[in-house]
Amino acid sequence: MSNEVRKIITIDEDKCDGCGLCIPSCEEGALQIVDGKARLVKDIYCDGLGNCLGECPQGAIKMIEREAEPFNQQAVEERLVELEREKEREETQIKNNDAMTCGTCCGSAEQDIGRSPSANNDALNLDTGPESDNSKVPEAELTHWPVQLHLVPADARFLQGQDLLIAADCVPFAHADFHQQFLAGRALVIGCPKLDDLNSYHDKLVKIFNLNSLKSIKLVHMEVGCCFGLSKLVNSALQEAGLDIPLEEIIVGVDGSIKN
């Protein structure tokens, strides 16, 4: 088919931070994160209706008129089939990871972690002499393993009836008091909304919310734009689960300060 002048989206790469919030809103699968930026995969996949326009917190997407290939419904259907296959392959991989919790792999096997201040200090080999005071070393508050959202079983024993902390991957590196201020007394799952698959995260969170009678949820993420995708994800999963679990959201600056 010859090109025609029609409405089609354009993405300002300077504004786009790769948060991925626009991806689920495009029912034709026309958008994809490539090299950390949202991209229009092919002109033929974009119907020009603009469902993605209101999803970008940076205002990087707008509608223009330009010469483009006509929208192709058949090509869209073929792409959606391929995307579904990719999703199934990812889900199979996640299930395989979950299956490894049988105990044969220490990296993903469900574990309770017993800790004490003295055990921590001994392990860190911090006793440098008779005048050292190891009691000043803060105790790590992590009580279970694994913590990565892809690896945590949705019905893990350490989640049941707990207060849950959902943290973006970068937070513990930015905020020095992460263990004592956020993690103490909570079960933990972590993830990155920019680098990981949001659809599988969404499905896993819905299952976690439905299966574990959680008492509360604390969400901690960075101030950068892509991290707000985690906020939308958690709220969307809560809505789909149909549960009214108390949710507190905390935003951490790149300098480690609390922004709200």
pLDDT digits (tens, 9 = 90+) for 86-102: 877 766 766 665 555 44
pLDDT at residue 86 in the model: 81
Name the least confident of 5-14, 130-139, 185-194, 209-218. Answer: 130-139
65-76 b/e (C-beta count within 10 Å ≥ 16 → b): eeebbebbeeeb
Q: Is the pLDDT of residue 35 over 90?
A: no
Q: Is the pLDDT of residue 117 over 60?
A: no
Query: Higher confidence at residue 113 or residue 240?
Result: 240
Distance separating alpha carbons of residues 107 and 249, to the nearest angstrom: 29
- DSSP state string for 152-178: S-TT-GGGTT-EEEEEETTHHHH-TTH
Which pLDDT band, with edges at 50, 70 and 90, does 37 fall under? confident
The pLDDT > 70 percentage for the chain reads 82
- Any idea where the domains of the chain sit in the sequence? 4-71, 91-252
pTM: 0.62
* CB neighbours of residue 46 within 10 Å: 25
Beta strands 163-168 and 187-191: pairing type? parallel
Cβ atoms of residues 57 and 230 within 8 Å:
no
What residues have CB less than 8 Å from 178, skipping those under 6 apart? 167, 171, 172
Cβ atoms of residues 13 and 221 within 8 Å:
no
- Does domain 4-71 correspond to CATH entry 3.40.50.800? no
pLDDT at residue 83 in the model: 86
pLDDT at residue 128 in the model: 45
* CB neighbours of residue 34 within 10 Å: 10
